[in-house]
Structure formats: C-alpha cells, structure tokens
Amino acid sequence: MGTLKLLQGNEACAEGALYAGCTFFAGYPITPSTEVAEYLSRRLPLIGGAFIQMEDEIAAMGAVIGASLAGKKSLTATSGPGFSLKQENMGFGMLCEVPCVIVDVMRGGPSTGVPTGPSQSDIMQCKWGTHGDHPVICLTPGYVQEIFSETVRAFNLSERYRTPVIVAFDEIIGHMREKIEIPDKGVLEVENRKRPTCSPAEYKPFDETKGDVPPVADFFSGYRQHITGLNHHSDGFPVNAHPRIHTDEQRLIRKVEGNRKDIIRYETFMLEDAEVAIFAYGVSGRSGKNAVEQARAAGIKAGLFRPLTIWPFPEDEVAALASRVRAIVVPELSLGQIIFEVERCAKGKCRVEGIYRVDGDPITPEQIFDKIKEVK
C-alpha cells in the first residue's frame, strides 16, 4: 500500500515527476499550471534537486534541455501562451533527441484567452507546434491518479525513446482535487536512458547503426560530443543538403511511429457491443463515461474510447472502431481539432460527429447523451 493523498491534478503531476526520478525543473509562472512549479519548488531542494524559475518560458525550455544533456531527468510545465513560446526549443529537443517532459495544462485561447478556464485546443499544437517534421509523444490523462501515473510513463517514454514527451491535460483536472495513491518506490517501473558502453573515442551521439534510439552520453562524462540543432551526421556534426537528412528524420519519426504498440494506451468502457462510440480524452472523457451510463440506462448501446496517448494517434484502433459502429461522437473543448484525426482514420466508414465547447465550462454528460440519441 502506497501513500494516500488528496491532491490537485497539478500536484499529482509533480509527484509523478518525483517518482520517476526527476531532479530538475525549470519553469515560468503561468495559470493554470503554476502549482506544478510551486510544488516542485518545495520538494526538489529536499532531495538535492534543482528548481529554477527562469526569466521566460523559452529560457525554461532551454534550461530543461541543458539539464537533461547533463544527465538529469528534467521537467517543465506551462499553459497555452507559454506552450507556444516553448515550441522552438522543443523542436531542438526532438531533433537532438534530448529526453525531457513538458506539461501543458490547457486553457482557453488563442492569445491570453481564458487563463482560468479549461480547454483542449492545444492538442494540434502538441503535434505540430514546432516547425519541421518531428516525432511527438503526447499523453492525455483524465483523472488525478492518471496524471500521476502518466507523468511517470512520460518520463519512462522520454528516456526509452530519447525524445521530449508532452503531458497535456485541461485546467479542470489540473486544478481539481481527487484522492490518489502514490505507490511505494519500486511498484511502478522507472526507466533510465541507455548510456554508451563503447569507448569515448568510438562514441557517436546519433549512431543509427546502434538502432533507432542510439545510446546517449551525459555532458562531462568523458564522452565529449557536439550537439547542434542543425541537421547532423551520426557524429553530431552538421550536415547540409545530404541524403542523410532524409533518412535521419525518417529514423526520428520511426522511433515513435514504429513503436506505437508500446506507446499507445487507452481505456475502453462498454465498447464491445457498442453501436455508438464516444472518442474523448481528459475531462471530456469523464463526461463521456457518464454519457455512456445514461445511454445504456436508456437502452442505447454506447461505449467510450478514451485515449491516454493522443500522439501518436491511435489510428488502427479508431479505424477498427469505425468499421463496427454506426457513429463516433467526438466531444472536445475546442471548435473541432482532434475530430479531424478521427475522421481521417474512420475513412467514411461511420458517421463522425463533434461536440464543441469553448465557453469555459466542460461538455456535460447530457450534451453527449443528446448527441448519442441523435446519431444512434
């Protein structure tokens, strides 16, 4: 039995980071994610870790990458406008294959928007926010307990695949308090990046012959290396207009897309015999569950598909679902973003209907139930 606590989602995120071995946090104050920073500012010094409030969001992302290159498991947390600002350095982390975790507590936007209101409208920014082609792993927990466990998983995935991992959840679950159990040490698996075993002279930081995820050496560990945001050869040095760029970017994508089975997680609820499926994550997934209960009580066969991994998108699962249900209902706190992915995978095999809301309140179970009745 672990420790029981009543925690905010943001606090559970911080606890998850600590459980996963995070010893470095850099951030900047922003609603509604600030509690992650506040919590870690209290806890990290107690374990000898580093907490630094940087001068801006861009700097926080840079410091996190710097710390990770020094071998530290590193975290930053932000929201809408701050997430936009971090994008360039996140791209650096993706190209240079730097493990780290970025938390985005989604609030209304664009611009300053509704700082204290929930949103799910950063979900495409999670995928395409930085320029260029790049791999993205993004997790979307819906309950406070899940924020804890998915943050642990985010660190594990970032270490396993040597890439930044995003954890995205909305303001409601970031701020609400639920009971969570923090497992004792050792109960959940905690993974560390693969480090080189070859001699420093032989070491190449991006050696594709070592597999899609080459071992990563820490700065100051004797493995002197050059890391650059320019496209690079396996030895880390810049490359210009060369077939290597194409194959290396393919490798970056492949190390994520090729491991979909390992990365993609989701919960299903009464989906086996469902005629109408709801595809929803985060707080909308919670409403979806209640809507399914209401529909079942009314004799309608509804079920829920609730992704915990939104990127890479669960394409095969949604395609399979589309071929056996009459309709997929997609409630989201945006004016329609993730629905395009559902439509892409459904390939016209079933109706796909969205429910959109951006007024600062969550989509209610009744709103979803009404839509289920309409499409059944």
Partner 1 sequence: MSFNYDQYIRGGKLPHIWCPGCTYGIVFKSLLRAVDFLKIQKDDIALVSGIGCASRLPGYVDWNTLHTTHGRALPFATGLKLSCPDKKVMVISGDGDATAIGGNHFIHACRRNIDITTIVLNNFIYGMTGGQHSPTTPVGHLASTMPYGNVDPNFNIPDLAKGAGASWVGRGTAYHVPALDKLIIEAIQHKGMSVLEIINACPTTYGRRNKFKSATDQLLWMKDNSLPITAFDKLPPEKTAGKFPTGVLFKKEAPEYCDTYYAMVERVRKPKEGRA
Partner 2 sequence: MSERYEVRFSGSGGQGLILAGVIFAEAATIFDKINAVQSQSYGPEARGGASKSEVIISDRPIDFPKARAIDLQLSLTQESCTKYYKDIKDTGTLLVDEDFVKDIPKGKFKVISMPIIRTASEEIGKAFVANIVALGAITALTGKVTIASVEKAVLSRVPKGTEELNKKALKAGYDMAKTKMN
Q: Interface residues with partner 1 (CB under 8 A)?
A: 24, 26, 45-46, 48, 50, 52, 54-56, 58-72, 74, 88-89, 92, 219-222, 224-230, 237-238
| Contact (Cβ atoms closer than 8 angstroms) between residue 42 and residue 126 | no
CA distance 23 to 17: 8
Residue 86 binds which entry of partner 1, partner 2, none, with Cβ cut-offs from 5 to 8 Å by kind?
Answer: none
Q: Give me the least distance between CB of 218 and partner 1, in Å please.
A: 9
Q: List all residues 6 or more positions away from 66 whose beta carbon is below 8 Å from its beta carbon.
A: none
Q: Give me the least distance between CB of 241 and partner 1, in Å please.
A: 15
Q: What are phi and psi of 234, to 5 degrees?
A: -60, -25
Q: What are phi and psi of 164, to 5 degrees?
A: -65, 140
Cβ closest to partner 1, residue 63 vs residue 329: 63
Residue 222 binds which entry of partner 1, partner 2, none, with Cβ cut-offs from 5 to 8 Å by kind?
Answer: partner 1
Q: Give me the least distance between CB of 279 and partner 1, in Å please.
A: 36
Q: Among candidates 180, 171, 174, 255, which has minimal Cα distance to 216?
A: 255
Q: Other C-beta atoms within 10 Å of 230: how many?
A: 12
Q: Give me the least distance between CB of 287 and partner 2, in Å please.
A: 5
Cβ closest to partner 1, residue 63 vs residue 167: 63
Cβ closest to partner 2, residue 157 vs residue 278: 278
| Contact (Cβ atoms closer than 8 angstroms) between residue 237 and residue 228 | yes
Residue 78 binds which entry of partner 1, partner 2, none, with Cβ cut-offs from 5 to 8 Å by kind?
Answer: none
Cβ closest to partner 2, residue 51 vs residue 369: 369
Residue 6 binds which entry of partner 2, partner 1, none, with Cβ cut-offs from 5 to 8 Å by kind?
Answer: partner 2
Q: Give me the least distance between CB of 279 and partner 2, in Å please.
A: 16
Residue 230, CB-side half-sphere exposure with 13 Å CA sphere: 11
Residue 289 binds which entry of partner 2, partner 1, none, with Cβ cut-offs from 5 to 8 Å by kind?
Answer: partner 2
**Distance of alpha carbon 46 from its chain centroid, rounded?**
27
Cβ closest to partner 2, residue 116 vs residue 323: 116
Residues at the interface with partner 2 (CB under 8 A): 4-6, 31-32, 116, 172-173, 175-179, 283, 286-287, 289-290, 361-362, 364-365
CA distance 223 to 107: 42
CA distance 376 to 372: 6
* Cβ density class 53-73: b for 16+ within 10 Å, e for less: ebeebbbbbbbbbebbbebbb
Residue 54, SS3?
Answer: coil
Residue 283 binds which entry of partner 2, partner 1, none, with Cβ cut-offs from 5 to 8 Å by kind?
Answer: partner 2
Q: Other C-beta atoms within 10 Å of 185: how many?
A: 9
Angle at CA 16, nearest 5°, toward 10 and 21? 135
Residue 340 binds which entry of partner 1, partner 2, none, with Cβ cut-offs from 5 to 8 Å by kind?
Answer: none
Cβ closest to partner 2, residue 172 vs residue 346: 172
Residue 31 binds which entry of partner 1, partner 2, none, with Cβ cut-offs from 5 to 8 Å by kind?
Answer: partner 2
Residue 65 binds which entry of partner 1, partner 2, none, with Cβ cut-offs from 5 to 8 Å by kind?
Answer: partner 1
Cβ closest to partner 2, residue 5 vs residue 233: 5
| Contact (Cβ atoms closer than 8 angstroms) between residue 305 and residue 268 | yes
Per the structure block, which two tokens stand in for 191?
């993974």
Residue 179, SS3?
Answer: strand
Q: Give me the least distance between CB of 142 and partner 2, in Å please.
A: 9
Cβ closest to partner 1, residue 8 vs residue 68: 68
Q: Give me the least distance between CB of 147 and partner 2, in Å please.
A: 13
Q: Among candidates 54, 61, 140, 116, which has minimal Cα distance to 94?
A: 61
Q: Give me the least distance between CB of 59 and partner 1, in Å please.
A: 4
Cβ closest to partner 1, residue 1 vs residue 46: 46
